[in-house]
Amino acid sequence: MKESLARSHGSQCGFCTPGFIMSMYALLRSSELPPTEEQIEECLAGNLCRCTGYRPIIDAFQVFAKTDDAFYTNTSSSDLQSGEFLCPSTGKPCSCKSKGLNGAETCKKSTANEHNYEPVSYSEVDGSTYTDKELIFPPELLLRKLTPLYLNGFGGLKWFRPLKIQHLLELKAKFPDAKLVVGNTEVGIEMRLKRIQYKVLISVAHVPELNVLHVKDDGLEIGAAVRLSELLQMFRKVINERAAHETSSCKAFIEQIKWFAGTQIKNVACVGGNICTASPISDLNPLWMAAGAKFQIIDCKGNIRTIMAENFFLGYRKVDLTSGEILLSIFLPWTRPFEYVKEFKQAHRRDDDIAIVNAGMRVFLEEKGEDLVVSDSLIVYGGVAPLSLSAVKTKEFIIGKNWDQELLQGALKFLEIDIFLKEDAPGGMVEFRKSFNT
């Protein structure tokens, strides 16, 4: 990997290089099959480079991708004699496949070779020529039995790691202002950069009730501590297994999680942390609201109440949770036939960037004679107010109307009323942001 990156001029100042290598290494080590080009791009999305640009870096790693060699030549794979190998660098049948990585005998016909560039073929780098494969992850760490933790830090800081919900609720009763933490992607920033001092921290990452991921008849139950990578995996699974009309929300979430953050962040950031932070530009909260999700909340005594996501967000980073309560789980209903959910995000850059404006939208249509009539809907915008904002008047306007161009033109007018940005609105770029709303 390092060699390929260097030969492709994918490293300049070198600062980002170890990160790129480790992301690629993690992908190769954890993939049973050669990764696709898309997976390679996805795994690098959390790494930033400010010197070379991404093209040479992507090029360097694409040699590890599973591709059909015939794409690069005029010869189709079916023209090849059985057992013949098509060299990815020359596009001609050759035997370079069987040679070693250090390359004395690798195919030398490439024109690129004149510039001392010898691309390595997948068979040489997928590890099949090595017998002693490295372990993906030390199994003893995976198998290690977790124990509850109680640690004391500087300045009287207390850190707890309960493993049972009952223990968590007892801690919450004893320390109502304790800060829960899972991925630490928000709390860490608050403590380090904003210098906020929390006296008591409770890691809820390993509480089983907060990690459930259940496929039910009417939807998906998602524990508040479920990491976004796990959720993404589950969404991908259910869209393959369930009727297409049921998973419109899941598809919208998949698309939005793609641009949420890099893999490293998605591996640790949890669903509940994103909801409870209630950031006005949260990428997922408009979707939970639009998709009709319900939140289950548990108090210190174990009482559970349910609230629609739509009613959970009260103001700037303010949610409907008392100090003794925590978010337990989220219920995402399957969509019905003629019910559609869509996501939207505009940022300065596609990968790894905070939204300027984002949205989640749902419409449920009913057949009335020849027409399709809007029976229910919810349109929610982020980045336009102190909280994820539901376009209430637009919803009222479109319900009961035929799904056509006239409805669209009328709805756009109501959106301008619902999503009103003052000239001095926090976040700036008012005209730019207005242009996305409609």
List interacting residues with ligand XAN (CB under 6 A): 279, 281-283, 354
Contact positions with ligand NAI (CB under 6 A) in 314-373: 326-327
Closest separation in Å from C-beta 89 to ligand NAI: 39
6: enclosing H helix or E strand = helix 2-7
Using CA atoms in the order 95, 100, 104, 106, what is the torsion angle rounded to 10 degrees?
30
State the binding string over 243-262 for ligand NAI (x if CB under 6 A, else -). Answer: -----------------xx-
Q: Which range touches ligand NAI (CB under 6 A), out of 18-26, 56-64, 239-247, 268-276? A: 268-276
260: enclosing H helix or E strand = none
CA dist., res. 313 & res. 320, Å (int): 6
Q: Which range touches ligand NAI (CB under 6 A), out of 104-112, 229-237, 277-285, 397-405? A: 277-285
User: Judged by CB under 6 A, which of 230, 283, 339, 351 binds ligand NAI?
Assistant: 283
CA dist., res. 384 & res. 386, Å (int): 7
* Triad 307, 232, 315: Cα angle to 5°: 35
Closest separation in Å from C-beta 170 to ligand NAI: 16
- Comparing CB distances to ligand NAI, the nearer of 229 and 277 is 277
Find which of ligand XAN, ligand NAI, none residue 181 binds, CB within 5 to 8 Å per kind. ligand NAI
309: enclosing H helix or E strand = none
185 scored as a contact of ligand NAI (CB under 6 A): yes
Find which of ligand XAN, ligand NAI, none residue 335 binds, CB within 5 to 8 Å per kind. none
DSSP string, 70-133: GGGSSS-GGGSPTT-EE-TTTSSEESGGGS-TT-TTS----SGGGGT--PPPHHHHSSTT-SSP
- Comparing CB distances to ligand XAN, the nearer of 137 and 316 is 316
* Triad 74, 77, 82: Cα angle to 5°: 135
181 scored as a contact of ligand NAI (CB under 6 A): yes
- Comparing CB distances to ligand NAI, the nearer of 47 and 282 is 282
CA dist., res. 416 & res. 434, Å (int): 8
User: Judged by CB under 6 A, which of 16, 96, 224, 415 binds ligand NAI?
Assistant: 224
274 scored as a contact of ligand NAI (CB under 6 A): yes
Write the DSSP symbol of residue 184: -
Find which of ligand NAI, ligand XAN, none residue 203 binds, CB within 5 to 8 Å per kind. none
Sign of the CA dihedral running 405, 410, 412, 415: negative
Coil vs helix vs strand at 341: strand
User: Judged by CB under 6 A, which of 11, 90, 184, 388 binds ligand NAI?
Assistant: 184
Binding region for ligand NAI (CB under 6 A): 179-187, 204, 210, 224, 260-261, 265, 268-270, 272-274, 276-277, 282-283, 326-327
